[in-house]
Structure 1
Amino acid sequence: MKASLYLVLATLFWSGNYVVGQAAVASMTPLELTFWRWSLAAVPLLLLAYFVEKPDWRAVLRRWPVLLLLSVLGMSGYTLLLYSALGYTSAMNASLITAANPALIVVMAIVLIGEKTTRVGWLGICLGLLGVLLVLSRGELARVFSLPINTGELMMVGAIIIWGFYTIIARRLKLPAISATAVQVVMATVTLAPFALAMNVRFPDTAAEGWSLAYIAVFPSLGSYLFWNLALKTTPPGTAGNYLNLMVVFTAIITVLLGTPLTPVQIVGGLMVVAGVLLTGTKGQPRRLAAPATSSAGGRGR
């Protein structure tokens, strides 16, 4: 029961990142949000790793080349694209596109590392893709190749592709999850610092900006990782992964509570994406393929 609660809280906090991030980019640049998010989260994450996992830091740091690559992809690249996208598209559309990420990762794993899936898995992949195309085309699938696609939605597609590469690399990294994440966050802070200085990144100077950044640094950056990893002590990764579908649900609820109604296209497209992910994740894996060990932040961080 505790594990389920932890997983629900983790996905709820990640969902809030979309809504709060969209509000924040109205007055802060994506670089400012990304740099301060990881700068503020770095030390608490290191402490969290130390007390929860008690890692062998030398063993962790020996993998610095791959951790640096993961940091550039997942912490810097994905996050910058996410916040950039939220300046052009809605939090709901961003979460719907992100919901297709698990199916995309399956496709990338098939192409890049020769993993297999079943006919049901392919059905789930196609259903999820159709749902995303429905959202991108505003329900006009027949004109999907002629309609201009929103810049933010194209950025989100780019973001989930980057996250796909991140996940495929990270799932093979045999390191404690929070510790690997903490090192990647520190690396992101260091590598982004020259760009932050060059672009005169400022610290939030209004209450609204401060509260937005505080939420992003504390809840999706710290709370979600803590709750997710606590849950994984008693929950198989494949089972936990299905909870990520709640991100679309939570984002929809938050969006409606804030006064923005959902369109029928968003509802239908979202249901198709979630159904596709469920088919891919629960019925689409050949029995011989075990769920990948959760050894880093791959597949989780938002």
Structure 2
Amino acid sequence: MRLTPRLAALLTLPPLLWASNAVVGRLMVGHVPPLTLNALRWIVVFVLLLPLGWRAIAGAAARRAVAQRWRELALLGLLGMGSYNALQYAALVTSTPLNVTLIAASTPVWMLAVGALCYGERASRRALFGAALSLLGVAVVLARGEPARLVQVRFVAGDLWMLLAVVAWAFYSWRLARPGPLMRADTRPAWNWAEFLLVQAVFGVLWAGAFGVGEALAVPQASVQWSLPVVMAVLYVALGPSIVAYYCWGRGVGAVGPAVAAFFANLAPLFAALMQGALLHESPRPYHALAFGLIIAGIVVSTRRKQAPR
């Protein structure tokens, strides 16, 4: 499907919200254990979704339809809800925002790799060139216009968690685009976006809750330092980066495919840099414009259709 302005907007909003999620996650270090934060997030998401998607689990027939597809839904819940943000929050405890952003910027590469290895999707030269342009734009942001900064990056244990998170997200996105036989549009129940996200959240809450309990048992001294900012942070990451972002991402991936959508994820570091600048009362720099141009160029190159020969 051709990339329209509406689809571009759908795919731009998630990285904006995810950039803010990384900022909030960093602020919560020391206040909420990372796996507990993820569990609280998805519990709140489940509660917020119930008024919108309750029909998906109400009644014997609806529950039977979910039970028939439990393997696929459990996998989606594990990859997209139980793992990705839990690993990201865990990475922010020991790693730096710079490293986490740099690793997350490799998403298009992992999307292309998963597509080639697991789904037989051969990456075109256009897609590879687009990925290179987008990654170059991300590098400009991370280096703040000074390439020498990139060689100063030091990787720590938390970087491995973020790498695993990116791989999990790549598999999650491909499972949305290439679902199993019972989860295709013509064979699954006519769930709307809220109902589909709710049935994923049923299993996502179980995974996230299990990981949160495991964290509490493994690190008993870690506990939630409840306060109004902590409550507001949990509500925000449940509403914005979760419900709104997942809705837009799911619609966008379903329309253009995960490989193309992955290029929009590279806007997150740029948004994060702008948010940091706003919090520090610093105006955007010229390298922000350069990075934005490179990232957009990567998106345009990767989504532009090749003209048929006359």
- Structure 2 length-normalised TM: 0.70
Look up the match of 1:113.
119
Look up the match of 1:15.
19
Deviation track 1:36-72 (CA, whole Å, cap 9, x = no partner) reads 00111113224323479x9955434321112112222
Look up the match of 2:271.
250
Deviation track 1:85-140 (CA, whole Å, cap 9, x = no partner) reads 2224454654454344234312320122211232211222344455667759x845
| Structure 2 counterparts to residues 204-283 of structure 1, below 5 A | 204-226=225-247, 236-237=255-256, 241=261, 244-259=265-280, 272=294, 275-280=297-302, 282-283=303-304
Look up the match of 1:64.
70
The one-letter code matched in structure 2 to 1:27 is H
Deviation track 1:194-246 (CA, whole Å, cap 9, x = no partner) reads 443451575551222112111111222223345566x76xx944699365454
Deviation track 1:173-212 (CA, whole Å, cap 9, x = no partner) reads 2254443332222212223434434515755512221121
Question: Does the aligned pair in 2 maintain the 1:27–1:209 contact within 8 Å?
Answer: yes
Of 35, 38, 44 in structure 1, the residue corresponding to residue 39 of structure 2 is 35
Cα 1:179/1:93, change in 2 over 3 Å: farther
Deviation track 1:249-269 (CA, whole Å, cap 9, x = no partner) reads 432221111118689988877
Residue aligned with 1:86, SS: helix
The one-letter code matched in structure 1 to 2:196 is A
Q: Aligned equivalents of 2:177 and 2:28: distance in 1?
A: 31
Structure 2 stretches lacking a partner, 5+ long:
none
Select the structure that is richer in helix: 2
Cα 1:49/1:227, change in 2 over 3 Å: farther
| Structure 2 counterparts to residues 155-194 of structure 1, below 5 A | 155-173=161-179, 174=184, 175=188, 176=191, 177-194=193-210
Q: Aligned equivalents of 1:83 and 1:196: distance in 2?
A: 12
Question: Does the aligned pair in 1 maintain the 2:264–2:299 contact within 8 Å?
Answer: no
The one-letter code matched in structure 2 to 1:113 is Y
Q: Aligned equivalents of 1:85 and 1:260: distance in 2?
A: 27
Q: Aligned equivalents of 1:20 and 1:153: distance in 2?
A: 18
Which of 245-254 and 259-268 deviates more? Answer: 259-268
Q: Aligned equivalents of 1:267 and 1:85: distance in 2?
A: 29
Look up the match of 1:78.
84
Q: Aligned equivalents of 1:33 and 1:119: distance in 2?
A: 40
Question: Does the aligned pair in 1 maintain the 2:54–2:195 contact within 8 Å?
Answer: yes
Q: What's the % identity of the aligned pairs?
A: 27
The one-letter code matched in structure 1 to 2:89 is Y
Which of 27-36 and 82-91 deviates more? Answer: 82-91
The one-letter code matched in structure 1 to 2:202 is V
Q: How much does 1:151 deviate?
A: 4.0
Which of 178-187 and 236-245 deviates more? Answer: 236-245
Aligned residue pair count: 281
Cα 1:238/1:212, change in 2 over 3 Å: same
Q: Aligned equivalents of 1:115 and 1:105: distance in 2?
A: 10
Q: Aligned equivalents of 2:76 and 2:208: distance in 1?
A: 14
Q: How much does 1:33 deviate?
A: 0.6
Query: What RMSD, in angstroms, separates the aligned Cα atoms of the two structures?
Result: 4.2
Larger Rg: 2
Deviation track 1:151-186 (CA, whole Å, cap 9, x = no partner) reads 444432321111112222232222544433322222
- Structure 1 length-normalised TM: 0.72
